Amino acid sequence: MGGFDYSGYYVDDRPLLDIVPDSAYLQLVDTGFEYGFASDRERSWRGIITDDGWKYAVFAGVPWFLYNLNEDPFETAKLGPDRRFNSEWIRLQDRLAQWITDTGDAFELSNFW
């Protein structure tokens, strides 16, 4: 699977990208990971962070979280259950589903609402 090296934005001696993608996809595949919170290790998850400041991730078959990082950079307000953000959820759910399809991932993404 291809990817992008974003480290240049955080590490001074690394080059910046010539073309910056509009999103980054996240995944935890190895549930045997020995560090972190127990709930993070019990099942795999997938997620997306977009350049317009949204972060969305789900456990297999279960919605996990939705954050507006522009207004809440420390992820203190979990917006996933709030139907006022339904349009963002649909947009990000569709993007994540497309990425899962495009990469041939076997992750089961269910509909939340």
Sheet of 45-50, strands arranged across: 23-28, 45-50, 54-59, 62-68
Q: What pLDDT score was predicted for residue 35? A: 55
Q: What pLDDT score was predicted for residue 52? A: 87
Distance of alpha carbon 106 from alpha carbon 36, whole angstroms: 24
Tokens of 74: 């420390």
Q: What pLDDT score was predicted for residue 1? A: 44
Q: What pLDDT score was predicted for residue 111? A: 67
pLDDT in tens, 59-76: 876 767 899 988 998 889
- Average pLDDT for runs of 10 along the chain of length 113: 58 70 65 53 78 85 81 87 87 89 84 60
pTM of the full structure: 0.69
- Residue type at 107 in one-letter notation: F
Classify 7-102 by CATH class. alpha beta
Q: What pLDDT score was predicted for residue 102? A: 87
For the chain, give the longest Cα–Cα distance. Answer: 45
HEC secondary structure over the chain? CCCCCCHHHCCCCCCCCCCCCCEEEEEECCCCCCCCCHHHHHCCEEEEEECCCEEEEEECCEEEEEEECCCCCCCCCCCCCCHHHHHHHHHHHHHHHHHHHHCCCCCCCCCCC
User: Could you tell me if 23 and 96 are in contact, meaning their C-beta atoms sit under 8 angstroms apart?
Assistant: no
